[in-house]
Structure 1
Amino acid sequence: MIIGILLAALAGAVVSLQTVFNNKVNEKTGSWTTTTTVLGMGFLCSFIVSLIVEGKNTFELQHLQTWQWFGGVIGVGVVFCLVQGMKRLGPTFTISIVLTSQLGTALLWDSLGWLGLEKIPFTFNKLLGVLVIIIGILVFKFGKGKEEKS
């Protein structure tokens, strides 16, 4: 469990860092060029690592259902939306909204057991947890605290 927590924390940190990188590329090129570059480099890197780690098993895809092929298509939307969100909201506000949306959506999908997920009972405490995060984001973004004097 500890390794899972560490890997999830690392993924969160890297996603935030990637979003900053993507935003910088977007400043020089454009949203669709950024999306193409990011996903193209991601494909190249993951393909090479897959060949090294899994070898010929990289090409054994016959057991996938049709809908399972669309993760990459969804990734295009993810990168494009993140780049646009960063441009309009900045990194911290964008990532906080993204993470809250991920949590809320995951709660919905888990609770309904969609796409073969193990159905996990919905509870008020889980909903409350998501709402507390939303309130935290609103306080972070719009709360007026003492401003530091420089």
Structure 2
Amino acid sequence: MILGLMLAVLAGSLVSLQTVFNSKVNERTGSWATTTLVLGMGFLASLTISLLVEGKQTFALQNMHPWYWVSGMIGVGVVICLVQGMKLLGPTYAISIVLTAQLSFALLWDSLGWLGLETVPFTSNKLIGVLVIVAGIVLFKFGGRQGAEPSAAKAPQGLPD
């Protein structure tokens, strides 16, 4: 269980880091070029590592429904939406909304047993958990003092260009 928690935390940090990098690439190119670069480099990296670790087993796709293959196309939507969301909302607010939506839809799919998932009972505790996260996002976005804009000298510095 500890390993699973550590991997989940690592995945969350990597998603946030990748989103920042994607945003920086998008400042110099466009959204589609960013998506092509990100997913293309990801393909090359995953193919190389898979071939090194699994060899020919990489291509053993027994008993897989062909419609599962659309996952890569879904990834295009993920990258495009994240890049545009960050441009419009900023990194923290955009990622907060993305993670809340991800949790909400995972709860829905688990509860309904969609896409071949084992049905997990929906409980009020799960709903309260999602609502607490949504309340946190609302507080984050609107809970600051009115008119308290940080000065340019105090603004946090991003990654170097």
TM range (shorter): over 0.9
Amino acid at match of 1:50: S
User: By how many angstroms is 1:115 displaced?
Assistant: 1.1
Normalising by structure 1, we get a TM-score of 0.96
Matched, 1:91 2:91: yes
Amino acid at match of 1:117: L
Match of 2:54 in 1: 54
Match of 2:8 in 1: 8
Alignment of 1:39-50 (within 5 A): 39-50=39-50
Match of 2:29 in 1: 29
Match of 2:157 in 1: none
Unaligned runs of 5+ in 2: 155-161
Percent sequence identity is 69
- Cα separation, 2, equivalents of 1:64 and 1:84: 33
Runs of 4+ deviating beyond 3 Å: 145-150
- Cα separation, 1, equivalents of 2:132 and 2:140: 12
Q: CA RMSD in A?
A: 1.5
Match of 2:107 in 1: 107
Amino acid at match of 1:2: I
- Cα separation, 2, equivalents of 1:145 and 1:126: 31
Identify which range, 84-93 or 60-69, moves more after superposition: 60-69
Q: Which has the higher helix share?
A: 1
Q: Which has the higher contact order (CA 8 A, sep 6+)?
A: 1
Match of 2:82 in 1: 82
- Cα separation, 1, equivalents of 2:111 and 2:20: 32
1:42-96 alpha-carbon deviations (Å, 9 max, x no partner): 0000000000000000111242102111110000000000000011001000000
- Cα separation, 1, equivalents of 2:120 and 2:67: 22
Aligned pair count reads 150
Amino acid at match of 1:74: I
- Cα separation, 1, equivalents of 2:97 and 2:56: 40
User: By how many angstroms is 1:145 displaced?
Assistant: 4.0
